[in-house]
Chain A
């Protein structure tokens, strides 16, 4: 009797748990579902009462109108160029530094690492003016360089992630390679990099994410509309600026295109995003 009752209690508790989770998950997903739905609605359907969830017919006019308002293909290309070069720079520099910090002895190693970790507390609010000053002096305003080049100087968080992975590789492997006369670069390139591909993928995806999602950087450094990134371009679309009946649809189409690459990458690589972004937390 008692066993049976506790099973019923456990079952109803589980059901309640599920019900709550489903409701919360729906609330979290709703803005994205609503956005997708709105992007394919005709201007009239946007304001319909009661609101409809599934647009019919699927209306593509919003995208056509958006492309007339702003050169999205240009923005997409610009953003892709910036993001891809940022990823390349970040992966190379951060992994080199992380390898040395994790597995080589040199004077200043601990100081360097401690300082890198401390830079994680420095807000962009105080580095942006001096950085702007440097890039102005270099005449790099209205080029992609201020958004790309800093990545070639490594990133503290990425070094932190990679260092953790590099520390877990057995010393025996390194010793054996050294006895065979392998250089440090060879050890890094032929042993450490191939053995830690997942963490490198994480670094690449996170760099891509931050580069793609960045708004403040492009706002500061890109004034020429032909150089705008997607997010910078979309910031021109705010509710205050546009007019006309098809404005809502245009904004929703832009919003969808702005997040589409992240949605697609997340579909396949969500494990990397979740683990990478929360790595610092689980270490306590």
Chain B
């Protein structure tokens, strides 16, 4: 801590009182918009509730129903996991590639960084509309391009095998810049000394990448991995605009499922149960990754 003047008792009370006035809105917000919802939706998830009549206690029935009776939940879960795996794995690969390309002494580095980051700040709904037209099966520019290369056109958004991949590609485009900039910051933290020492020992570029860059970048990789998974699990706007969950529910995601159950069908209990599962998935992923982190994350200070 910084050195402080010792304050007499009265002033300390004044400081305390003032401080609580300063944080009052935030503390209230924490109670009303975070703590209350977390507890309340836990309670609701054990009930049958349409928001109007009083909730009816069901115990674990909502959770059981999701996996047994509900015809859509398991496929929704599978779509979301597939989407997350696709977006995160390919997304991380490309982001690391771009970051490595940018992590050189180049002219126009700032320009490239700004270009790659641009999709991050665009509204998903607006961007998704543009992509919908590019994916158009008959006249979309992507299929036109495939035809030009002599390849068969792909029924992107209208075929159950491709629709999720269409979303994954758009999502990688939208998040590439964010992950790239974080990787770039991580790369810049790696001391040049390691590379110089390796050069003296005669290591080639690939050896340097595998033995220096990858291990020393792993804390960053870990962070990007966790945030990417957490974002991917909560995808909503993209399928809502591009496919509406179709075709044949192939792109129905967890948060879309919550939205339609809660606000279209008034099934608050069921929706809350799904919401809680998202919460538990996020907590679990964070925990697993932190545990995993100890095994493979290499911190420079520990040397």
Given A105-B16, A281-B227, A25 contacting B116 (CB threshold 8 A):
yes
Q: Is the CB of B129 within 8 A of A251?
A: yes
B127 near A: Cβ within 8 Å? yes
Out of B144, B177, B255, B268, which one reaches A129, CB within 8 Å? B268
Classify the secondary structure of B's interface with A: helix
Q: Is the CB of A100 within 8 A of B23?
A: yes
Q: Is the CB of A21 within 8 A of B102?
A: yes
B74 near A: Cβ within 8 Å? no
> Chain B interface: which size bin?
35 or more
A96 near B: Cβ within 8 Å? yes
**Complex CA distance for A231 and B238, rounded to whole angstroms:** 12
Contacts of B279 in A (CB 8 A): 122-123, 125-126
**Complex CA distance for A175 and B117, rounded to whole angstroms:** 41
B165 near A: Cβ within 8 Å? no
Out of B23, B51, B101, B118, which one reaches A133, CB within 8 Å? B51
Contacts of B112 in A (CB 8 A): 21, 25
For A239, give the chain B residue with the smallest CB separation. B132
Contacts of B242 in A (CB 8 A): 238-239
Q: Is the CB of B121 within 8 A of A21?
A: no
Out of B40, B177, B182, B219, which one reaches A130, CB within 8 Å? B40
A/B pair count, beta carbons within 8 Å = 290
Q: Is the CB of B32 within 8 A of A125?
A: no
For window 90-141 of chain A, which residues contact chain B by CB distance below 8 Å? 93-94, 96-97, 99-101, 104-107, 109, 112, 115-116, 119, 121-134, 136
Q: Is the CB of B119 within 8 A of A28?
A: yes
Q: Is the CB of A104 within 8 A of B118?
A: no
| Closest CB in chain B relative to A252 CB, distance in Å | 6
Q: What are 15 A-to-B residue pairs whose CB atoms are below 8 Å? A: A21-B101, A21-B106, A49-B144, A96-B26, A100-B20, A123-B278, A128-B262, A129-B44, A154-B25, A154-B29, A240-B244, A258-B129, A259-B122, A274-B113, A278-B178
> Besides the contacts A126-B275, A150-B29, A234-B129, what 18 more A-B pairs have beta carbons closer than 8 Å?
A21-B98, A21-B101, A21-B106, A31-B134, A96-B23, A105-B4, A126-B41, A127-B33, A129-B268, A130-B37, A150-B33, A178-B5, A220-B263, A238-B132, A254-B129, A259-B123, A270-B118, A281-B220
